[in-house]
Every structure is written in structure tokens, then in C-alpha cells.
């Protein structure tokens, strides 16, 4: 790996799906070397370590080659995020690698390509959603343009005053509601994009690593 194309091991356990990836380089010009996403009822604690071990073995990549470990820092399931962070910190301490944290919503939005406002949404349970807005800049990068919020889905729709491209697992729950309120202004990403992917997380994390934006493993939660 070159200094400008870091090799990142990325982990996302913010939702019921467990996603692991190896990426090289940044979002704009990088590549996904390998990725695996598992959705089901098996808990993250039972499959995360074996998934990472399998991915590294299949790619014949050892820890000396990896430049950083990236993990989702939420929003999302408290238990899932805690398992992901604990696992990532274990790798970081054992292999002496930098720790990188990426928003789950940013990873969702990073996989989108749209001239519309992008709204990444995750089901927060209790009839609420996590959300943040993003725009694609002139170079194709997706940039966050709002803070992360948690609110009722109806209130989120009231905030939207222009055509919007929505992505995330909350679309499966509240998409019909948003369609009814927003009409033609509402567009949903394809179903396969509603699951946070570790691949996008890894490519975003590489940008952080190059900018020196790492987490303190001792205090990260």
C-alpha cells in the first residue's frame, strides 16, 4: 500500500446486519478489495471475529499490511455499536494500528450518487428515526450539510422542502408515509443500499487517516 492509498479494515455493526470490508484508498479513487455483509438473527458477538479472520485469510492479508481499523460510531443499535467498537479496539491494541470512527449515516450516504439532497435515515425504534442530510459536491464527494437528528418520521418530512433521495433501513419502515407526504419530491435508493456497508465506511476512513483524524482508542466508546 502507498501512503496515499491506505489499506483499511472496516467494521459496521450499527444495525442487525454485520458488515466487514477491506478497502484501499479513499472514496473518490479507491477500491473495495473484499466485503462481506451478513444479515440475520445471529448476534454480532458470535460472528464478527470469525468473519474478520475469514476475510483476511481469503485475501491472504496479514496485520502488518493493514494501515488502520475503521468502525461505525453510530447512530445505531447501542449493543451492536458497543460490540463493533470493542472488537475494533482489540484489533488496534493487538496490532498497534490507528483507530478510525465513521458515522453510520455518512457511510450510507457515501454510497449514493444523486443531484438531489440526500437524506440518510435509520430506524431508531419507538417510532423515531435518526437522520442527516448530505449533498454531492462538484467532484462527486458526498458531504454532510446538517447535524444528526432523532425525531418522529412525520417531523422529518416537514423539514424537507425540496426533492430528496432517501437511503437507510428506516425507508423500509416509513417509506410509504414519506411518499404520501412528499409525493414526487420523494425518491428511495434501491433496497440493497439501505444496509450500511463497511466498504463505504473504509473508504471514508482512509480520508480521515490521511488527514490525521484518528480516535484515541483508550477513550473511544
DSSP string, 127-166: TEEEEEEEEE-TTS-EEE-S--EEE-HHHHHHH--S-EEE
Region of 74 on the Ramachandran plot (φ > 0 left; ψ -120 to 50 alpha; else beta): left
Q: What is the pTM of this model?
A: 0.93
Residue reference for cell 409525493: 183
Summarize pLDDT for 172-216 with one digit per residue, the tens: 999 999 999 999 999 999 999 999 999 999 999 999 999 999 999
Q: What is the CATH number of domain 112-193?
A: 3.30.420.40
Same fold, 7-104+197-210 and 112-193: yes
Which residues 6+ apart lie within 8 Å of 8 measured at CB?
22, 23, 24, 66, 67, 68, 69, 70, 100, 202, 203, 205, 206, 209
Summarize pLDDT for 135-186 with one digit per residue, the tens: 998 777 899 999 999 999 999 999 999 999 999 999 999 999 999 999 999 9
Give whole-number Cα distances, 110 to 86, 142, 144, 205, in Å: 25, 6, 10, 11
> How far, in whole angstroms, is CA 177 from its chain's centroid?
25
Indicate the class that CATH gives domain 7-104+197-210. Answer: alpha beta
Supply the DSSP string of 60-88, one letter for each residue.
T--GGG--EEEEE--SS-HHHHHHHHHHH
The domain spans of the chain are 7-104+197-210, 112-193
Amino acid at each position: 500500500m502507498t501512503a496515499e492509498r491506505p489499506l483499511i479494515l472496516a467494521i459496521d455493526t450499527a444495525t442487525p446486519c454485520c458488515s466487514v470490508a477491506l478497502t484501499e484508498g479513499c472514496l473518490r479513487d479507491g477500491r473495495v478489495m473484499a466485503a462481506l455483509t451478513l444479515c440475520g438473527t445471529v448476534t454480532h458477538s458470535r460472528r464478527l471475529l470469525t468473519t474478520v479472520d475469514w476475510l483476511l485469510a481469503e485475501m491472504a492479508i496479514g496485520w502488518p499490511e493493514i494501515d488502520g481499523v475503521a468502525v461505525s460510531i453510530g447512530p445505531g443499535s447501542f449493543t451492536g455499536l458497543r460490540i463493533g467498537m470493542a472488537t475494533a479496539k482489540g484489533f488496534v491494541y493487538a496490532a498497534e494500528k490507528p483507530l478510525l470512527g465513521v458515522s453510520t449515516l455518512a457511510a450510507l450516504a457515501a454510497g449514493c450518487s444523486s443531484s438531489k439532497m440526500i437524506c440518510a435515515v435509520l430506524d431508531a425504534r419507538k417510532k423515531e428515526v435518526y437522520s442527516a442530510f448530505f449533498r454531492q459536491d462538484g467532484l462527486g464527494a458526498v458531504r454532510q450539510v446538517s447535524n444528526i437528528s432523532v425525531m418522529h418520521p412525520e417531523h422529518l418530512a416537514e423539514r424537507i422542502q425540496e426533492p430528496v433521495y432517501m437511503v437507510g433501513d428506516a425507508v423500509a419502515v416509513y417509506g410509504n408515509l414519506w411518499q404520501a407526504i412528499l409525493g414526487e419530491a420523494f425518491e428511495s435508493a434501491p433496497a440493497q443500499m439501505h444496509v450500511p456497508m463497511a466498504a463505504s465506511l473504509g473508504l471514508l476512513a482512509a480520508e480521515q487517516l490521511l488527514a490525521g483524524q484518528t480516535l484515541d482508542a483508550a477513550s473511544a466508546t
